[in-house]
């Protein structure tokens, strides 16, 4: 039973849970981390990239060592975003297996506070939360973490980038000194090392060998689409490609079954696998997929574990994953063994912020493309049909039995009309634009905007024109993407679309002003007295900075137009 995991000293219950999730062998970080945590009580810093299997690496040793249903919280895991907190909570729940009864609670903003309070009153063993909501509960005294055994900081550098460093330090003050702290970070900026020195006991740093998160063999694309148009967009993508042999990732097993059944009704040969698919049936499905009898596999993240196919042409994120690690795992299934692959992601307007976050963490470029129009799909089908007919014409022996019938048809009719009638009879459905539903045009790039802080001001002899030109020269964004420049006495603010904001931040990342970036964004914070509501959007100023700062400081805000 999973001999490589068994060699890491994991219990039989944990091995059974891993086998049910179709784990096959540990990743490098899991091989390093699991034995270390099981035998060592020191604080540890892991410098490890996204996509290395960190969640299982820290959770499997924790589940082996903490006690079920104690009267206090035994472990707390901090994550930078609510999506990542949810993803981590779901992952560790699934890794418990049927026999574990540890109570895991995700806490994050925009979730019902009363729901969280009720769960906390009933007792929780493990908290997975974002810094802001965790502090809310600590301040209310509805959460106590003074008896925890483990304190885990996941994606610590991203929490720093989002302005959570003061919150993290504040949360440390609520914890007990004999806790074990585990910090995971892709990079080690000065602020992270400061936290380690100040709050972590005798600690060691473990670096996992750096590998490429994504390869140059994978072309990464995203399509802006409304939720109700996703299936139509998927059908067009499959139809327009010369060859499609790939995996379509959905969020839930219900979505997986629905997408697969809709594809089959449209004439595609597709199969679905998810948590409820029995092992024997799963093996049959995968055998057909690996032999290309079935060329489309619709799957959930968990069910796709252990699928090792070298020549996939496409991976499609029908639903955006919850965290960068899952995104890397998904798209890494194509572009293997030196072959080219395409990774396509469907993004709704409300998800674009998360996609920009993935792009920044994975340090990759995800290009925007337009969903193929109906006439483009039909033109592609016609091109393929022409080639098929030419192939048949070049195979003389296969046509002999049809020539007499063809002569009869052409005897009293125009040859062009005869060919047109045959095409209509055989391909009227496939080559008709009426069979393609209208796809609503959306523009995610302009649906959300970012407010950036710029450390350039009037005292530096900048005016609006010069600042605009400077940003364009450095980041190569378009002039019409820069809006609402406000030059203050000590700094400036600039409003740009999210995609442009990411480009500007990357471009200015190496340009420093007194050791700090010229352009930055921090955690959102505002006071209602600075805002007025007008025309479905927000206007006005915000007070910027972290929770511990006062007055005007560096920062950004987002608003929906």
pLDDT digits (tens, 9 = 90+) for 132-167: 999 999 999 999 999 999 999 988 887 887 778 889
Using the predicted structure, report yes or no on whether residue 520 has a pLDDT greater than 80.
Answer: no
Residue that finishes a domain, picked among 181, 207, 233: 207
Between 97 and 196, residue with greater pLDDT: 196
Alpha-carbon gap, residue 168 to 360, rounded angstroms:
22
Residue 75: pLDDT band with limits 50, 70, 90: very high
What was the pLDDT predicted at 511?
60
Q: What is the pTM of this model?
A: 0.58
The pLDDT score that the predictor gives to residue 528 is 30
- Residue 212 domain-assigned (yes or no): no
CA 327, CA 214: separation in Å to the nearest integer? 10
Residues 172, 202, single domain; the answer is yes
Q: How confident is the model at residue 48 (pLDDT cuts 50, 70, 90)?
A: confident
Residues 183 and 316 in one domain: no
Domain containing 414: what range?
375-435
Chain segment 347-402, per-residue pLDDT in tens? 988 788 788 888 877 878 899 999 999 889 899 988 888 888 888 888 766 777 88
Same domain, 243 and 99: no
Q: For 368-380, give one letter per residue: b (16+ CB within 10 A) or e.
A: eeebbebeebbeb
Domain match, 326 and 225 both: yes
Q: Are residues 152 and 50 in the same domain?
A: yes
Are 515 and 537 spatial neighbours (Cβ–Cβ below 8 Å)?
A: no
Residues 14 and 78 in one domain: yes
Residue that finishes a domain, picked among 145, 174, 207: 207
pLDDT band at 545 (very low <50, low <70, confident <90, very high): very low
Helix (H) or strand (E) run with residue 494 in it: strand 492-497
Confidence of residue 540 (pLDDT cuts 50, 70, 90): very low
DSSP codes of every residue in 322-342: SSHHHHHHHHTTSS-TT--EE
C-alpha span between 107 and 85 (Å, rounded): 8
- 109 with 203, same domain: the answer is yes
Same domain, 31 and 135: yes
**Is 441 contained in some domain?**
no
pLDDT of residue 137: 96
Q: How confident is the model at residue 525 (pLDDT cuts 50, 70, 90)?
A: very low
- % of the chain beyond a pLDDT of 90: 29
Check residue 326 and give its pLDDT: 81
**Mean pLDDT throughout 548-561?**
33
Q: Which CATH number characterizes residue 364's domain?
A: 3.40.50.300
Burial of 319 (0-12, 13-18, 19+ CB in 10 A): buried
Last residue of one domain, picked from the residues 347, 371, 395: 371
Domain tally, the chain: 4
Instruction: Give the model's pLDDT for residue 501.
Output: 75
């Amino acid at each position: 039973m999973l001999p490589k995991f068994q060699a890491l000293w994991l219990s039989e219950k944990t091995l059974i849970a891993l086998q049910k999730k179709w784990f096959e062998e540990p990743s490098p970080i899991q091989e390093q981390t699991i034995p270390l945590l099981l035998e060592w009580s020191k604080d540890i810093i892991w410098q490890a990239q996204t996509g290395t299997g960190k969640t299982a690496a820290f959770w499997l040793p924790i589940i082996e060592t903490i006690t079920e249903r104690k009267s206090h919280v035994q472990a707390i895991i901090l994550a930078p975003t609510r999506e990542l907190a949810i993803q981590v909570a779901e992952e560790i729940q699934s890794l418990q297996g049927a026999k574990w009864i540890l109570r895991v609670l995700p806490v994050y903003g925009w979730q019902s506070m009363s729901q969280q309070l009720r769960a906390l009153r009933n007792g929780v063993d493990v908290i997975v939360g974002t810094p802001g909501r965790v502090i809310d509960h600590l301040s209310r005294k509805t959460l106590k973490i003074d008896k925890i055994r483990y304190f885990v900081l996941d994606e610590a550098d991203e929490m720093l980038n989002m302005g959570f460093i003061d919150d993290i330090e504040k949360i440390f003050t609520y914890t007990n000194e004999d806790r074990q702290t585990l910090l995971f970070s892709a990079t080690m900026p000065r602020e992270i090392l400061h936290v380690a020195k100040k709050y972590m006991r005798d600690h060691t740093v473990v670096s996992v060998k750096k590998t490429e998160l994504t390869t140059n063999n994978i072309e990464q694309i995203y399509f802006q689409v409304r939720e109700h148009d996703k299936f139509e967009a998927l059908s067009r993508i499959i139809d327009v490609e010369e060859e499609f042999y790939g995996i379509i990732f959905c969020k839930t097993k219900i979505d997986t079954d629905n997408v697969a059944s809709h594809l089959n009704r449209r004439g595609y040969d597709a199969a679905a696998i998810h948590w409820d698919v029995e092992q024997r049936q799963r093996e049959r499905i995968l055998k057909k997929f690996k032999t290309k009898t079935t060329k489309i596999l619709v799957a959930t993240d968990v069910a796709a574990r252990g699928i090792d196919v070298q020549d996939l042409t496409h991976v499609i994120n029908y639903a955006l994953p919850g965290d960068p690690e899952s995104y890397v795992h998904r798209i890494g299934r194509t572009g293997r063994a030196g072959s080219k692959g395409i990774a396509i992601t469907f993004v709704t307007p409300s998800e674009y912020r998360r996609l920009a976050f993935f792009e920044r963490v994975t340090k990759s470029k995800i290009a925007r493309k337009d969903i193929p129009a109906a006439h483009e799909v039909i033109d592609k089908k016609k091109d393929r049909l022409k080639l098929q007919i030419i192939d048949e014409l070049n195979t003389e022996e296969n046509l002999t039995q049809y020539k007499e019938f063809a002569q009869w048809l052409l005897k009293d009719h125009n040859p062009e009309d005869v060919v047109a009638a045959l095409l209509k009879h055989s391909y009227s459905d496939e080559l008709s634009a009426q069979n393609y539903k209208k796809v609503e045009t959306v523009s995610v790039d302009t649906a959300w905007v970012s407010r950036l802080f710029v450390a350039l001001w009037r005292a530096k002899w900048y005016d609006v024109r010069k600042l605009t030109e400077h940003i364009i020269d450095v980041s190569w964004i378009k002039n019409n993407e820069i809006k609402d420049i406000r030059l203050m006495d000590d700094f400036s603010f600039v409003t740009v679309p999210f995609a442009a904001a990411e480009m500007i931040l990357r471009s200015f990342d190496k340009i420093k002003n007194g050791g700090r970036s010229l352009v930055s964004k921090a955690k959102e914070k505002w006071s209602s007295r600075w805002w007025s509501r007008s025309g479905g959007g927000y206007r006005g100023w915000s007070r910027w900075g972290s929770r511990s700062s006062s007055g005007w400081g560096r920062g950004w805000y987002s608003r929906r137009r």
